[in-house]
Amino acid sequence: MNSKILIIYENSILYEILTEIEEFLNFQILNANKTNISKLKFNINDNYLFVSSKKSDEVVNCIIIDSKPIKIKKFVEFININFLKNKYANQSEIKIGKYKLNMNSREISNEHKKLSLTEREAEVILYIKSKKNVTIQELQNVVWSYVSDLETHTVETHIYRLRKKMNDIFKDENFIISEKNGYSIN
């Protein structure tokens, strides 16, 4: 996230008020309406929020301010809290192949379905994703904190269950691939 951008949508009075105190704010302010919304220039990777007094289908990531009057100090605090929430929400989602893994909710999803994961399953997926080929011993050491000479089938059992869950929900038999030297994610 490079910048924090507050886009005031269809509320010129609020825009005027905030531009008067802009030097004291830690975010950029843009004005938008139905005619100029498509011409706004900001990076999709920026941390942005829309503020409007009514719900609109044209905008996403929008905060509705419908109660008046509102104290400006409380409003700015509210905006900063929402910027912070956006930052962590965007950082928590990790792309893994054709899936997205949300670390806050521990859900893996594609465009249509979601699957809840245990904390250990999420850790296994992240560790396998971080390397090209992960051995059983590495997973034992890193994810389970086992010593490498311990004879156990914990890793294989977890991988089997995780593969089964992925296949049951997403019909994906090749999410975790067994290779000659260990596991990888497709």
pLDDT in tens, 6-39: 989 888 888 999 999 999 888 989 998 888 877 7
**Alpha-carbon distance 110 to 82, whole Å?**
26
Question: Which fold would CATH assign to domain 94-185?
Answer: Arc Repressor Mutant, subunit A (1.10.10)
What was the pLDDT predicted at 53? 82
Tell me the pLDDT band of 1, cut-offs 50, 70 and 90. very low
From start to end of 33-181, where are the E strands?
A: 47-52, 62-64, 93-96, 99-102, 107-109, 114-116, 176-179
Least confident of 45-49, 92-96, 123-127: 45-49
Question: Which whole number is the average pLDDT over 153-182?
Answer: 91
Question: Which whole number is the average pLDDT over 74-85?
Answer: 86
- Strands in 93-96's sheet, in edge-to-edge order, are 93-96, 99-102, 107-109, 114-116
What was the pLDDT predicted at 35? 84
Least confident of 58-62, 108-112, 127-131, 142-146: 58-62
99-140 pLDDT tens trace = 999 888 889 999 889 999 998 999 899 889 888 788 888 888
In the predicted structure, residue 179 carries a pLDDT above the cut 60: yes
Between 68 and 86, whose confidence is greater?
86
Query: Is 4-91 a domain of CATH 3.30.450?
Result: no
In the predicted structure, residue 2 carries a pLDDT above the cut 60: no
Between 85 and 22, whose confidence is greater?
22
The domain locations on the chain are 4-91, 94-185
For residue 114, is it left (φ>0), alpha (ψ between -120 and 50) or beta?
beta
Please report which helix (H) or strand (E) contains residue 8, including its range.
Answer: strand 4-9
Average pLDDT over the chain reads: 84
